[in-house]
Structure 1
């Protein structure tokens, strides 16, 4: 059997030069207020999130927020209870179906209630 060697041309195999990247962030200097960038704020403001806060037209309504949290918690509890009930119902139906498919006749539970 003959084996054929692929013909490699000079254009197929080319080594690309690797050029390292420069620093991603400019150099920083340490001060008593934290690390400040060299090309940053020249006003000397502290580096916290207060400069990004927007003034609000109206104050927070904590009562409304608490009512919304209570409603969300009640919805979550109700959804969890419905999920547990559904899982137990499906398990009970599966048990009954397995019993019937085995050919047994006493699969249905009969509850005795005294009036």
Structure 2
């Protein structure tokens, strides 16, 4: 971890959880790392169509600070950096699973469009 986790004050546990999930991309980064394991930056970016390099970098730094993501730098030329979930990040993913099920039911019920990830899954 690169620094102390951000902190409240919080009104409740939901408030504390949402603090580390702020923004559209953090839950999707957690999902991508859970689904595919250790990923390099470019792999994460391809797996999250629409995320900018700046936003992905910012969220990964915050998630590392919050202890959700591990960043490993390899002393190679060119440098290689890999991201993976920590136990804390995996536990947050487990907590989000029921919310994901609710969202899947909503998509089905309301006939909402879904992004096709099959093109990015093999990269």
Max Rg structure: 1
Same-fold status (TM-score > 0.5): no
Richer in helix (by share): 2
Richer in strand (by share): 2
In the superposition, the TM-score normalised over structure 2's length comes to: 0.22
Flag the structure with more relative contact order, 1 or 2, with Cα contacts below 8 A and sequence separation at least 6: 2
In the superposition, the TM-score normalised over structure 1's length comes to: 0.24
